[in-house]
């Protein structure tokens, strides 16, 4: 059993002993801490929007969360089965003081989590997350008396509201999409995307929608992370049905992966690149943001359009912070996460789909041909496991010094640029591991870059042991 307490929320496997898994006492403890933090931030009355993906444990967790917040005197707006971006939109639309999304995102079905939002419908900051964790550990919660319990209300119209806001965006061209008569195959991993994505596609004028794994029962048909090795069924269905496009979303619908008409992956890193390219056509010299481990292709596309690209530390909250600082018109992460500030500051697969289909319709050719118009980079993901006595920070500092003649970014670990190639080293917060991401125009070169850095690390360890 696993329980991970971080500044972005509480994540764990369902069951087991309290404190070792995501058990009812743990859910109550952290919901109480979040509610207490909200009461410190805002005047009463308070309300919180709560939604969940289709995980088997979702309803159980949601009932515990809502009862806990009610006990604190906080009203709960239950929007039931929903998507992460829909909850984010709902917080501001309903002028709530916060939101909780019950989802473990791309993790397998035995996992669940509490994702915590602020009054802006955004993930709480690192500082606020630390406060929530501190309140939880202190454990001095003050619950309301019987006359001041929070009310629980229900709304079933928020997804439609979310979609209507997408349709009103100046970039979304329903007429162009409808005219193309797209045939689209959808793999929604038997979660919320199974009803949310078809509702969006129908609103966009797509009538030929072929669904696989779209029953929102939480019985994930494959590993829910939308990576190529998990999308074989989708790839086969696209070619079998002569579809124009395959769409895959993760269980809470904030990540988007696409499959070309020939069954080949568009590339999860390139979801944001393509959508950003389309949005940049509507702006002059506009800025974009992604994290340090995302493909350089976004920078290339941005600079080609006359804008400036900036890279943040890994993590959605860090991307959002830098987007606000640089006034970026679009941003996100290379995991298929698209963030469009005009809608809201959060990863949103639904707006990603609408923007991509508008782009594809106006491009007028196949999905694979659209993909071929972008710079072709390959990312290799590796890690080196170290013994507990190795000082990871010391190793990273030595690597930075070794490559000081190259452009080096230390916002999040150490990222070294070699012309249009790069290597990014990040330490794990929970294990003696350094994760090593590298990118180049060929996978073999990217892998060799990683091997070179791994060799450097091993040599540095030997030197430190001999000293």
Active-site annotation, residues: 105
Nearest 10 degrees: Cα torsion 201, 205, 211, 215: 50
Please give the span between the terminal C-alpha atoms of the chain, in angstroms, as a whole number. Answer: 40
211 within 8 A of 203, measured Cβ to Cβ: no
d(C-alpha 185, C-alpha 248), whole Å: 9
């Amino acid at each position: 059993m696993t329980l991970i307490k971080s500044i972005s929320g509480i994540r764990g496997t369902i069951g087991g002993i309290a404190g070792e898994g995501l058990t009812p006492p743990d859910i109550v403890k952290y919901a109480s801490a979040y509610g207490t933090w909200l009461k410190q931030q805002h005047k009463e009355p308070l309300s919180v929007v709560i939604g969940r993906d289709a995980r088997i444990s979702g309803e159980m967790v949601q009932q515990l969360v809502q009862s806990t917040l009610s006990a604190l005197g906080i009203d709960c707006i239950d929007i039931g089965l929903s998507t992460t971006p829909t909850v984010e939109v709902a917080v501001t639309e309903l002028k709530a003081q916060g939101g909780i999304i019950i989802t473990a995102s791309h993790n397998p079905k035995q996992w669940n989590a509490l994702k915590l939002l602020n009054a802006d419908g955004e993930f709480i900051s690192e500082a606020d997350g630390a406060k929530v964790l501190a309140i939880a550990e202190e454990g001095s919660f003050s619950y309301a008396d019987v006359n001041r319990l929070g009310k629980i209300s229900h709304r079933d119209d928020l997804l439609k509201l979310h979609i209507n806001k997408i349709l009103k965006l100046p970039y979304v061209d329903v007429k162009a999409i409808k005219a193309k008569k797209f045939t689209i195959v959808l793999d929604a991993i038997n979660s919320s995307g199974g009803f949310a994505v078809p509702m969006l596609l129908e609103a966009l004028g797509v009538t030929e929608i072929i669904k696989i794994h779209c029953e929102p029962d939480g019985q994930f048909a494959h590993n829910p992370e939308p990576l190529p090795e998990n999308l074989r069924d989708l790839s086969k269905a696209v070619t079998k049905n002569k579809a124009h496009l395959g769409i895959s979303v993760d269980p809470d619908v904030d990540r988007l992966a696409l499959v070309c008409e020939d069954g080949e992956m568009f590339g999860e890193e390139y979801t944001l690149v393509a959508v950003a390219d389309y949005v940049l056509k509507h702006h002059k010299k506009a800025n974009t943001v992604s994290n340090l481990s995302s493909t350089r292709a976004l920078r290339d596309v941005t600079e080609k359009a006359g804008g400036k690209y900036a890279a943040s530390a890994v993590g959605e909250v860090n991307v959002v912070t830098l987007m606000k600082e640089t006034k970026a018109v679009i941003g996100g992460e290379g995991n298929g996460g698209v963030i469009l500030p005009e809608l809201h500051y959060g990863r949103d697969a639904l707006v990603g789909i609408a923007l991509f289909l508008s782009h594809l319709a106006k491009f007028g050719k196949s999905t694979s041909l659209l993909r071929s118009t972008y710079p072709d980079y390959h990312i290799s993901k590796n890690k080196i496991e170290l013994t507990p006595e190795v000082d990871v920070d010391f190793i990273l500092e030595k690597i930075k010094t070794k490559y000081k003649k190259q452009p080096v970014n230390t916002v999040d670990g150490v990222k070294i640029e070699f012309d249009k190639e790069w290597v990014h080293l990040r330490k794990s917060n929970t294990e003696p591991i350094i994760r090593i991401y590298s990118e180049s125009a060929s996978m073999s070169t990217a892998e060799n870059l990683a091997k070179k850095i791994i060799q450097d690390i091993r040599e540095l360890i030997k030197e430190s042991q001999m000293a």
